[in-house]
Chains A and B, each alone.
Chain A
């Protein structure tokens, strides 16, 4: 089992679209995949047409009163399951702060379903918080969408500080360009030049796309309803690149 966290410091950067699309691609190959919607907005759950409600709230999962097994829902797609969001996700910081060894608890919860899934994809709430620290602590891969603006570099630096501070993380940080608008010169320039300074940036680039925007209307992953679109090709390339980066470097399942 490997854990990939779709994470960003700010919202609206294509994080959930990526999480949902990559999970769909993984499952389509027959790889059993679990998405955990940690975002109080519940956008991933909405894309999977699942009501954002779990019994006992997210607190039950953190304290161990409930297992993930009790709350996992199947989606419309084989091999793809979901831990839905819950409105209590907005208190996740407080819940995690109130327990001892929160990283260990989350790891244990994940381990219990570890045999059933090859990939667990966490759709994280945006921002820097205790939640982010915990997520970094339990993940193998930190997938970070970055809109190519002048603030991107600054954001990557902040991210670097965050991961350095986080407790003993082995997480591989994989930033990638998201919502790229090739008509904008700034976007073109940054996409061309930043990888020189930041070699960890993935080569696959996700374009800004109305197909992707439709996901919240159609409530399906874009790869499902627009298989021949540019967006699908981009996510497919992204997933392939993530897998090849990870296969060389992953430590054994925790």
Chain B
């Protein structure tokens, strides 16, 4: 609980000690870092993660932020000699247990750094035990990175001791009468981040674009693509610095969505521009594939090889070494692409185009109509092709359906704001279940071919790679089995997607109403 403070803290100290009966407990200076992922996962979980260091100790605190209903509460604390960057850096403990599921694959970044000079007080009971604590704090924000120190002034922070909630409430009441104190704002945490130049929850990997149904299609397209371009640009730094694998993932997804928008644009964007940017983004997507594929293999390496019989598991380590070497090369090649003139020009010219787009054809048609048409068309194509797939159909047919499903998904997400939220959520969820099945099938296929390629590369390396290749053969056949299973489940999954309830919903939302003939 926070209270703003008048800088003449001498009078304040007097009133705390003599007036309220707090005991002085000394001073300390804490170097504090507020940690969160690039996409603010800790903040979204309603908490703040602090890494504190004094000359004698260092610890992590997971503090649930105050809401209008409840004061802030420390949910976990554990020793931590260094600032962690990933969940793997942490030893077991209550903070790790809170953080790991929230953080997933993302790295922690210092979103704010500060020096906190604290003058400590405690309220004692009849046994001379502390039953509440207070501190006069002076905060100076010092980072992250190079920034001028910002003096945030003084505040009094009151913390309860577990099991003495009434005491805390009473102390807060009494403090409200102390000279120069004003109640702190609920968004005090947000201001701490803002003082360090960070804006909580300013980034999400989800596509969130609000468009109006009456807006001209071209304008809507340009709004969507501008948001996607923002996402590409904002993730570029993380890709270059190789902070975690999700920067590249989000970078690629934004590129993929952009390509999807371009290919769906039809006549709305003139053909020359459509071709040009389509090619350019295809090039860019291609430059990122290899690195992403290798990231995925390395992330999934332990899971994949956990399936192997024990005697093969150790044999397969040379494959990991190969993957790491390949990854390093792929990263270097991507950096060359990102440093290239072609990339810089693409980013600049696409931005310029979106700011003042050239229209053609149906550019001015209200997007409410064109979106519905596009979505309906994409949906129908899935239904038509999916119904024709049976157990004997070739693998190509399944891959093809997967691409169609992805098109529909991107459309649903891009135009989500035009339709009722509940419906869109359900339909997207239904589509995702189908996509999962199609995705598994495709992934196994790709992994099997990759393993073949890796085996060849391994064979060219010095050392005893025979056992590794043998183990990879076992992996291959396990993958083939998984692929078979996904294929066997397809009929059922598709039937579920194609069930009446979904058909009706798609129809209700997107089926074009025939224009009356006059």
Bound-state Cα–Cα, A71 to B162, Å? 9
> Separation in Å of the B306 CB from the closest CB of chain A?
19
Given B93, B127, B130, which contacts A31 in the complex, CB threshold below 8 Å?
A: B93
- Chain B residue nearest to A78 (CB atoms) is B77
Asked if B163 is at the interface (CB within 8 A of a chain A CB), the reply is yes
- Chain B residue nearest to A81 (CB atoms) is B162
Residues from chain B with a CB closer than 8 A to the CB of A50 are 127, 129
Asked if A93 is at the interface (CB within 8 A of a chain B CB), the reply is no
Bound-state Cα–Cα, A119 to B93, Å? 11
Asked if B79 is at the interface (CB within 8 A of a chain A CB), the reply is yes
Residues from chain A with a CB closer than 8 A to the CB of B128 are 49, 219
Contact A30 B76 (CB under 8 A): no
Interface residue tally of chain B, by bracket?
10 to 19
Contact B77 A29 (CB under 8 A): no
Contact A32 B76 (CB under 8 A): yes
Residues from chain A with a CB closer than 8 A to the CB of B59 are 30
Contact B78 A32 (CB under 8 A): yes
- Chain A residue nearest to B130 (CB atoms) is A76
> Separation in Å of the A219 CB from the closest CB of chain B?
7
> Separation in Å of the A221 CB from the closest CB of chain B?
13
> Separation in Å of the B5 CB from the closest CB of chain A?
24
Asked if B276 is at the interface (CB within 8 A of a chain A CB), the reply is no
- Chain B residue nearest to A71 (CB atoms) is B163
> Separation in Å of the A47 CB from the closest CB of chain B?
11
Contact A74 B76 (CB under 8 A): no
Given A32, A71, A72, which contacts B94 in the complex, CB threshold below 8 Å?
A: A32
Contact A74 B127 (CB under 8 A): no
Task: Determine chain A's interface SS by DSSP, over half rule.
Answer: loop
Total number of A residues with any Cβ neighbor in B under 8 Å = 22
Bound-state Cα–Cα, A51 to B125, Å? 10
- Residues from 25 to 81 in A contacting B, C-beta threshold 8 Å: 29-32, 48-51, 71-76, 78-79, 81
Contact A73 B77 (CB under 8 A): no
Residues from chain B with a CB closer than 8 A to the CB of A200 are none
- Chain B residue nearest to A77 (CB atoms) is B130
Bound-state Cα–Cα, A32 to B61, Å? 12
Residues from chain A with a CB closer than 8 A to the CB of B97 are 115
Residues from chain B with a CB closer than 8 A to the CB of A115 are 94, 97
Residues from chain B with a CB closer than 8 A to the CB of A78 are 77
Given A29, A72, A76, which contacts B163 in the complex, CB threshold below 8 Å?
A: A72
Contact B76 A31 (CB under 8 A): no
Asked if B289 is at the interface (CB within 8 A of a chain A CB), the reply is no
Bound-state Cα–Cα, A49 to B57, Å? 25
- Residues from 164 to 217 in B contacting A, C-beta threshold 8 Å: 164
Asked if A213 is at the interface (CB within 8 A of a chain B CB), the reply is no
Contact B162 A74 (CB under 8 A): yes
Residues from chain A with a CB closer than 8 A to the CB of B127 are 49-51, 219
Asked if A116 is at the interface (CB within 8 A of a chain B CB), the reply is yes
Asked if B80 is at the interface (CB within 8 A of a chain A CB), the reply is yes
Q: Which 5 A-B pairs have the closest CB atoms?
A: A30-B79, A73-B163, A49-B129, A74-B162, A74-B161
**Residues of B with Cβ closer than 8 Å to A?**
57, 59, 76-80, 92-94, 97, 127-130, 161-164
**Residues of A with Cβ closer than 8 Å to B?**
29-32, 48-51, 71-76, 78-79, 81, 115-118, 219
Given contacts A118-B92, A219-B128, 18 further A-B contacts (CB under 8 A): A29-B79, A30-B59, A30-B93, A32-B76, A32-B93, A49-B129, A50-B127, A50-B129, A51-B127, A71-B163, A72-B162, A76-B129, A81-B162, A115-B94, A115-B97, A117-B94, A118-B93, A219-B127
